[in-house]
Amino acid sequence: MKPTRIEGGNGSPIDAGNGGTFESGNDSPLCSRLADEGTPQTQGSPAARKAKTIMLQGTASDVGKSLLTAALCRILTQDGYRTAPFKAQNMSNNSYVTPDGKEIGRAQGMQADACGIEATTDMNPILLKPTRDMSSQVVMNGVPLGNFEARVYREHVLVQAGAAVQEALARLRSRFDAVVLEGAGSPAEINLRSRDIVNMQAARWADAPVVLVADIDRGGVFASIVGTMELLEPEERERVCGFIINKFRGDVTLLQPGLDWLEKRTGKPVLGVVPWLPEHGLEEEDSLSLPASASQAPGHLQNPLSEEAQEHSAYKRVLDVIVLRLPKISNFTDMDPFRFEEDVSLRYVDHPSQWGEPDAVIVPGSKNVASDLQFLRAAGLADKLAAHIGTGGWTVGICGGYEMFAQRLLDPDGVESADIESAGLGIFPMDIVFGATKRTERVEGVFTLDGIGTALPVEGYEIHMGEVQFLGSCAHPLRLGAGAVPEGAAAVDGRCWGTFMHGIFHNDGLRRAWLNAVRESKGWEPLEEGMSFRQRRAQSFDRLADHVRAHVDIERIKLAAGLGLERML
């Protein structure tokens, strides 16, 4: 696995052996980075240099592109390059709000965090948020453009989307040293090639060499790589500079004959075999990555306790927290912090047989509240939830889940549903009215609720098109902003509450206060707050970067992108 030659982003050979001549893979002179060193770059300035680029594409969805992109972003940042992520078009209901109140895919927000920079809409100019079968809300440059059927989008909106992608990429490249691009799905989808703006077309616009990522855990890794390469056009195959085999389990020496065959068969190097990294601690973008629904006894742990923790009596008492797995679930990363709480077993439930006897229930966000509420009723989960709340069970609704607690869901303009009016669960005295204006905003304030805590500082973000109309008096768990504006709704005893705030449980103080309230209601002792979620996340980025560095030839990837050449002069 010691290739002597890799391809640059413009198809020119880069001799990786001794004494070779190196060329940039991004149509800029070899010494451009040296010439521009120390020169301020202003957006739109003709003198501004273009960032070098590298792109990760996959043989399929969910092969680990997003995490490997985050790892490469972190590595390049650690190595001193001003680095930014980019994904031309993303399809996900798991989104992220930028500091200026715009919306992008969650993965690009996470990757920006890996770079240590604020996320902008230039990192993900097109976001598709599925609402119904064959229909998505199109978010362009962070702002909703409208809901479109798939065919209408492809035939009438895609040209505009492609222009937005090129403009965003140009702006991004004018501000950074390196841009790490992520593809979507597979570049070998024949039916999509003529309208591609996210895989090989994006690589052309960025003049980026492509690393092809394959998931060995799902099987057929050599067939998936060779098949993908066979289906690419000749110039696209030339753009591929090598392969990364991801999610490997076992002895890599036993894989070596296959790697040797693959390199001989394709003429491309294997740049790394990345072992499976369990519990990496970073959020996933795709709901496909959520654990499969399964009936598990209360107390089942996703993260086994350490021997040291088991010796502590407090940790032997584990809370069973379930999350309703909605078909149109959105922003499921709201639950990520619970994975690090050693007194929590987090389960996803989509059938009454999996319900068990939970200590707490979370109803997450939804991209189609009326549809997901119909699912809960048809599946029998709405009855389970009502019984749980009726007997004083601890319950939280977040955004769409909170909206389900209303008396009625009103959608006069068909923003989310064809139903103008549908019944909510009737938990709180309020109606939800869906309108054409989408609220996307970062928010902060304090949380105060009997039985949980007083004036706990919180911050998060809101993404919703529904607005609350209260029909009577109701407790409000949150006060937001300098004006202490009331937000959310709650039962008097604090056991059931809801909020529009995504990321509410990323606030360490509130999360531990809520868990301790549940513990104390069971007669269990409270636990002290542990390491902050933000600290754990920063450590997770470094751990991921170290893991990938150890198993991927990063220097060859840099050379393919034209990075680091000035250091060899």
- Which residues are annotated as catalytic? 399, 502
Of 55, 50, 53, the residue nearest 36 (C-alpha) = 50
Residue 11 tokens, joined: 């198809």
**C-alpha 241, offset from chain centre:** 26
Asked whether 520 and 526 are in contact (CB, 8 A), the reply is yes
> Exposed, middle or buried, 156 (CB in 10 Å: 0-12/13-18/19+)?
exposed
Residue 345 tokens, joined: 């077993």
Q: Strand 329-330 to strand 365-366: parallel, antiparallel, or no bridges (unpaired)?
A: antiparallel
Element (H or E) spanning 13, and its range? strand 13-15
Beta bridge partners of 244: 213, 272
Asked whether 426 and 407 are in contact (CB, 8 A), the reply is yes
Q: Mind spelling out the 3-state secondary structure of 468-531?
A: EEECCCCECCEEECCCCEEECEECCCCCEEEECCECHHHCHHHHHHHHHHHHHHCCCCCCCCCC
Alpha-carbon radius of gyration of the chain: 25
For 129, the 3-state DSSP assignment is: strand
**Residue that the structure tokens 């077993």 belong to:** 345
Of 491, 496, 476, 296, the residue nearest 393 (C-alpha) = 496
Asked whether 326 and 402 are in contact (CB, 8 A), the reply is no
